[in-house]
Amino acid sequence: MTQVNRGIWTAEDNKAVAISRALAADAVQKVGNGHPGTAMSLAPVAYTLFQRFLKHDPSQPEWLGRDRFVLSCGHSSLTLYIQLFLSGYGLSLDDLKAFRTAGSLTPAHPEYGHTKGVEITTGPLGSGIASAVGMAMAARFEKGLLDPEGKTSLFDHNIWVIASDGDLQEGMSAEASSLAGTQALGNLKVIYDDNRISIEGDTHVSFTEDVSARYRAYGWHVIEVAALADGNVDRDALEAAMVKAESTTDAPTIIRLKTVIAWPAPKARGTSKSHGSALGLDEVAATKVELGLNPEETFIAPDEIVVHARKVIDRGQSARAAWEKEFATWSSANPEAAALLARLQKRELPAGWEKALPVFGSDKDVATRAASGKIINEIAKVLPEFWGGSADLGESNNTTIEEGHSFLPTTSAMKDASPYGRIIHFGIREHAMGAILNGIALHGLTKAFGGTFLVFSDYMRGSVRLAALMDIPSTFVWTHDSIGVGEDGPTHQPVEHVASLRAIPNLAVIRPADANETAIAWREVITRHKPAGFILSRQNLPVLDRTEFASAEGVSKGAYILKDSEGTPDVILIATGSEVQYAVGAQKILAEQGVKARVVSAPCIEWFNQQSDSYKETVLPAAVRARVSVEAGIAQGWRELIGDAGVAISLEHYGASAAAGVLFKEYGFTSENVANSALASIKKAGK
C-alpha cells in the first residue's frame, strides 16, 4: 500500500490549524447562519487527516487509488471546505466567503458532484457513516474482481469518516455499524466527535449509553482519546490512535475523540448556541486573540501557511506516481483484469450483453418478482460487477444470485461465505441497506441492488431520496407491490407507496406489466446508470403474447401503446403492473359494445415524461379526453395524465387480510369495472 509521508509536525501546522478555526468562525459570521462550533473544534482533526493520513492527490481528485473521506456530520461542512481550500482542491478564499450563499461552491451541506473533493452528499445524520460502510464493502468486492489472490496493494485503501453524536443516535448508523462489524471491514476508520452537545444542549438529555461498549459489541476495534486539560484536542494522542487504526485490518475502527465544541471561543465553547449559530463579532474577535491571530482581520490565510499546507499536493502526486508505476506493471501482468477495470472506469458494458436477457413465453403466468429473479441471474453471468441482495427477504424478493456465494469475511463460519461473494445479506436493515447501496454506487466501479417488500420502502426513504439527489445508480427492488400480497393483510399491502416514490424527483419508479416488460426494464436500468426502483408483483401475472400485443421494447419509452383500436380511440385505458390485464380485458368488452379503446401500458411515468412532446401525443392524443387509469394504489399523480374527464380506478383506503383475487374483485379491479369506468369517462368527455 502507498504510504503517506507524515514528516514532523511544525509551527506552520499549528498556524494552519489556528487559521482553520478562525476561518470557520468568520465564514458563519459573514453569512449570519451556520454551524461554526464543530468546525472549530474539529479543525486539528481534519487537518491531521488531510495532511498526514489520507492517501489523496488534490490535483487528481478522482484518482482510483485514493482513500475516501466522508464527513458524516454534513452540517459542519466547513470542516471539509477549509481543508479542501488549504489542500488545493480548487476552493478559494472567496469561496469560503460565499459560504451558504446562492451559486457558491460551498453550500450549507456538502453536495456530491458540486464541489471537487466532496465524495458524498451528507447532512441527514447517520447517512454518511452508513454509506461509508457501503464504500468499504465496495472496496473489498472490487478487490475480488481485480486482485482476488491478493498479489498487490493497488486496490487497498481506507474509508475515513468523521461522525458526530447525532450520527450515532440515528438508527440507520446502528444498522450499518452492526453490519460493518459482521463484515469485519478493516478498511473502515471512523473518528467519532464526542462533544456531548446538540441543538437542545447536553446530549445526555437523550443519549447516555456507553457508545464504546456498543461498538465493541458490534465487533469494532475501539480507541478512546481524551481531551487535554484545557479542552483542546490532544493531537498527539489522536495521531497515535489514527496510526493504530490505520494498521488495524481485521475489523472496523472507531476512535472516540473527546472534544469541546467551539474551542477556544472564550464564552461560546461547550455551548449549544455554538452548534448552530454565528458566534457574534465580539466572540469571533476574542477567539482570534486566543488563537494568537489579529482580531481585526477576517478570513486570515497567510500565503506562507497556504503554501505550506499545499505541499500535500506534492506528496499526493508522488504517491500517485508510485501507484501508477506499480499499476502499469500490474496491468501488463494481468491483461484481462486490466481490461475489465478499464471497462468499469468508462462505465461501458460488454458488447451484446443484453442478449443474455431471457425472453418469456406466454404459455405460463409469471410473477414479475420471479421474472426479475431470473433476469438478475442472467445479468450476473455476463456482468461480473453486478451484485446485491436483500434485507433478509432474498427468497421472497428473488434477489439471490445463484452460486454467487455470500459476501462475508474470511473469518465467517457461515456456509458458502466468501470475502468476494456476490450475495449481500443486509439483514433486516432497510434504511442502512439503501445507504449502503448509495455508498457502493459512489465508490464507482460496480452495480449493486437491494431488495425488500414495497411496504417497507418507507423505512429507507431517506436513503432513496439521497440516491436521487446525488443522481447515482442505486437500484432498489421492491416486491409484493399491492393488495396482491393477499392474506398478509393491510400492514403488508402498500397503498400509498408507489405515488409516494413517484414524488421523489429524479427517481425512476418502474412497475412492469409482465415478465418481458421486466426484462426490458432491467436492461434500461443497467444502461441508464441512474437511480431506479422496481415495483414487482408477488402474484403470477399473464405473460402477454407479443404477436398480439406491441413489443415490450416500448418500456424504454416509459409508456407505450400496448394494443390499439382500429381508428381513433373513443377512450384510452392506462394501466401499470398487474392491472394491465384488466385494461386488456376491458378493451375486449368495450369492443363488443362498439367502443374503441386503446390500451396503454405505463411501467415508468418518469421515463415517459422524458420523451418528446410528439411521442407523448402519439400515445395520449390531447383530442381523446376520455381516459381511465388503473392502478392498485392511491390515485394521486394520475390526474395529470387522465385530465378532467378521466376516471381513476384506484385504492383510497387500506386493504384487508384476504386472498388477492377476492380483494381485487371487491375493490373494483376487474375488466368489467374498467369497461364501465371507460363508458363513464366517455360520457364526462361529452362524446
Residues with active-site annotation: 430
Inter-residue contact 397 to 565 (CB < 8 Å): no
* Neighbour tally for 639: CB within 10 Å: 12
State how far the Cα of 338 lies from the Cα of 343, in Å rounded to an integer.
Answer: 9
Inter-residue contact 651 to 633 (CB < 8 Å): yes
CA distance from start to end of the chain: 75
What does 549-572 look like in DSSP terms, one character per residue?
S--GGGGGGSSEEEEPPSSS-SEE
Inter-residue contact 279 to 34 (CB < 8 Å): no
Enumerate residues 6+ apart whose C-beta is below 8 A from 307: none
Dihedral-angle region of residue 90 (phi above 0 means left; psi in -120 to 50 means alpha; beta otherwise): left
State how far the Cα of 381 lies from the Cα of 653, in Å rounded to an integer.
Answer: 43
Q: CA dist 517 to 451, 452, 638, Å?
A: 19, 20, 21
State how far the Cα of 327 lies from the Cα of 139, in Å rounded to an integer.
Answer: 17
Dihedral-angle region of residue 437 (phi above 0 means left; psi in -120 to 50 means alpha; beta otherwise): alpha
Among residues 414, 368, 668, which one has the least CA distance to residue 540?
368
Decide: helix, strand or coil at residue 376. helix
Decide: helix, strand or coil at residue 191. strand
State how far the Cα of 190 lies from the Cα of 132, in Å rounded to an integer.
Answer: 9
Instruction: Show the cell assigned to 594.
Output: 362498439
Q: CA dist 484 to 3, 205, 308, 575, Å?
A: 56, 45, 65, 16
Amino acid found at 675 = A
Angle, alpha carbons 458-463-469 (nearest 5°): 120
State how far the Cα of 10 lies from the Cα of 575, in Å rounded to an integer.
Answer: 69
**Which residue in this structure is represented by grid cell 383475487?**
661
Among residues 77, 86, 52, which one has the least CA distance to residue 67?
52
Enumerate residues 6+ apart whose C-beta is below 8 A from 612: none
